[in-house]
Amino acid sequence: MGRSATVSRRTGETDIEVALDLDGTGACDVQTGVGFFDHMLNALGRHSLMDLSVHAKGDTWVDDHHTVEDTGIVLGQAVAEALGDRSGIRRFGDVAVPLDEALVLAAVDVSGRGELFWDVEIGPDKVGTFDCELAQEFFVGFARQAGLTLHLRKLAGTNAHHIIEATFKSCARALRVAVERDPRVVGVPSTKGVL
């Protein structure tokens, strides 16, 4: 049985459609109108091995905030839908990912209680035209809607591009492990019987 989902969201600020397959190969088709963000979403799809299609149009003439935040929300909803009742998954995943001088730790619990714990200090305010604070905004919406307890922590790094990219890649690798099917897990991996 496939673990895929397609979710759309239209507001006065954005028009977003996300399609994904958790059991893919990392194939990506990402078009948000925000170049650096496209680069990050491609990294997320590729390193999580989820096939990911993201098409977003937003009020980027205002700034990129609504597009980035709302994409996180829709992507999180799609992950939650694709996971279904969460039967048979590993549930937990953690990894530290280096990118040159940057090192970022991600830990994921597919807990059903979506919350982000962010300890990622980023030096410069921008990477190109991308506001660095938007990385956190993306992960807030993503974690809440996907039902993930997500810890992201910078262990080292000075280059903003490297830090943010290591954050997306570490989340991807931890998520990949957490949502993998484990043949030894029967039902939902919780003593409560529900996630």
For every one of its 195 residues, what pLDDT tens digit does the chain have, with 9 covering 90 and above? Answer: 589 999 999 999 999 999 999 999 999 999 999 999 999 999 999 999 999 999 999 999 999 999 999 999 999 999 999 999 999 999 999 999 999 999 999 999 999 999 999 999 998 899 999 999 999 999 999 999 999 999 999 999 999 999 999 999 999 999 999 999 999 999 888 888 788
- Contact present, 194 and 188 (Cβ < 8 Å): yes
- Cα-Cα end-to-end distance for the chain: 20
* Burial (CB count <10 Å: 0-12, 13-18, 19+), residue 61: exposed
* Cα 190 to Cα 161: distance, rounded to the nearest angstrom: 37
Which CATH number does 4-179 carry?
3.30.230.40
Nearest to 154 by CA among 72, 98, 94, 92: 98
User: Domain ranges in the chain?
Assistant: 4-179
